[in-house]
Structure 1
Amino acid sequence: MLLYLNGLFVGLLILANIVAVKLFSIGHLAVLPAAVVIYIFTYPIVDVIVEVYGKETGRKTVQAGLITQVLALIFIFITIQLPAAPVFGHQSEFKTILGGSFRVIVASLASYAVSQNLDVFVFNKLKKKHGTKKLWLRNNASTMLSQLVDTTIFIAIAFMGTMPLAVLVTLIFTQYVFKFLASIVATPIVYLLVSVTRKQESKNNAQGSSAVS
């Protein structure tokens, strides 16, 4: 089950990076990158991994995600630089969609590394305190704090100096409200994934014991 969770986590990360260039609006309230719709689900997955498999496994998952993102960026850069065939008339569009600015890329990697590791740390601390109880509390507390850090770091690095401070604060606030509400909505998903994962691990352990005996 861990293999599937890791695959889902990394897959969502890469997909979020690909669609990040698209902006969408919620009425007149906020303009958000499409990546947030995908990226917000990476935190519950890490929380499930830490809940079932422990802090060290969660940390390795985050590390694997960072390495994969760096590799993806390298290969995307290489494909952009490849000479376009005469029949391919969309080189500029290809570069626009996949070739994000260096500053935004740095902001994305920095915010990811700090916030995801913070999520693992806070979740594990609360788990040590409460045991298997209050999963909803450590899931939401760790995710909400980490999302705030993620949003603040990303917007600060990506846009500081390009717009007034008041606008930056508004961007952080509106994006965080969306992520805050999404974290609450995703809580039942965390309970479901933890339940399914524990049952699968129990089944695997039982089969392993039977095989040994």
Structure 2
Amino acid sequence: MTQGDFGVRAIRADAATGTHFRYFDFVMAAFVTVLLLSNVIGAGKVAELGGVTFGAGILFFPLGYVIGDVLTEVYGYARARRCIWAGFVALLFMALMSWVVVSLPPAAGWLGQDAYETVFGQVPRIVFASIIAFWAGEFVNSFVMARMKIWTKGKALWSRTIGSTIVGQGVDSLIFYPLAFLGVWETRQVLIVMATNWAMKVAWEAVLTPVTYAVVGSLKRREGVDVFDTGTNFTPFRTRV
């Protein structure tokens, strides 16, 4: 099998079944951490820079897609799929925990309830839209990334990181904004915000391309393999590697 941009041994994904990778667990932990923190810390604040208003989480949420690209590129679709399911379950638990904690009656004299409700008491519709959009967008991103790697024979990593983000973030935005805000905001505003945020996320991915190259190259050299998803079962409905 051909070698890609980084000159390490190329293998089929099924040949890596049962292989223990030294850094996979750390990358998965980073993926879930960025996902949760961008939704908890970033989602609650609306910021403005240079006259542009945006949700603060957009600065860090795309890092989840970058790490998702790294997972698929280095470890293959099956292991990326496992991480996406881990993130999905973590988001569900976060939503449940937030609802329980906010709903608990505050103790007499405790003055933090309003702050908790502001930060963690998100509208259920928005939470549902966010979780569904993440699930669909990440799987599309990973699928496109894996298929493009085969088409490009492992060359031109930039083309598949940006290409997969264009499609994956497009699916994410097309699901999230209508589900979360259609009927609450004017349709025109939903479309404008959807297009603006999609463009910002794709641009952010492009800006981070040198970082992606550095991380991918380092991990491939340290792991000693370059996984190609030839013959991979791309169903999202499994977690087995």
- Compute the TM-score of the two structures, normalised by the length of structure 2: 0.80
Q: Distance in 2 between matches of 1:180 and 1:86?
A: 47
Within the alignment, does 1:155 sit opposite 2:177 as a pair?
yes
Distance 1:51-1:92 versus aligned 2 partners, 3 A rule: same
1:144–1:183 contact (8 Å) kept in structure 2: no
What is the aligned-residue RMSD (CA, Å)? Answer: 1.4
Partner of 1:65: 87
Letter in 2 for 1:22: K
Letter in 2 for 1:57: R
Alpha-carbon distance, 1:27 to partner: 2.2
Given candidates 115, 119, 134, the residue that maps to 1:112 is: 134
Identity %: 27
How many residue pairs align between the two structures? 202
Q: Which runs of 5+ in 2 are unaligned?
A: 1-22, 226-241
List 4+ stretches of structure 1 deviating above 3 A.
none
Q: Distance in 2 between matches of 1:202 and 1:163?
A: 50
Letter in 1 for 2:204: A
Partner of 1:10: 32
Higher relative contact order (CA 8 A, sep 6+): 2
SS at match of 2:224: helix
Which deviations, in whole Å up to 9, do the C-alpha atoms of 1:118-159 show, x marking residues without a partner?
Answer: 001100110111222111101110012211221221111111
Given candidates 187, 190, 193, the residue that maps to 2:212 is: 190
SS at match of 1:32: strand
Within the alignment, does 1:38 sit opposite 2:60 as a pair?
yes
Q: Distance in 2 between matches of 1:25 and 1:139?
A: 28
Given candidates 9, 15, 22, the residue that maps to 2:45 is: 22
Q: Distance in 1 between matches of 2:218 and 2:106?
A: 47
Which deviations, in whole Å up to 9, do the C-alpha atoms of 1:20-46 show, x marking residues without a partner?
Answer: 010112322x32111111110111111
Deviates more, 1:51-60 or 1:170-179: 170-179
Within the alignment, does 1:78 sit opposite 2:103 as a pair?
no
Partner of 1:135: 157
Q: Which runs of 5+ in 1 are unaligned?
A: 204-213
Letter in 1 for 2:209: T
Alpha-carbon distance, 1:53 to partner: 0.9
Q: Distance in 2 between matches of 1:112 and 1:82?
A: 28
Alpha-carbon distance, 1:180 to partner: 1.9
Partner of 1:93: 115
Alpha-carbon distance, 1:166 to partner: 1.4
SS at match of 1:132: coil
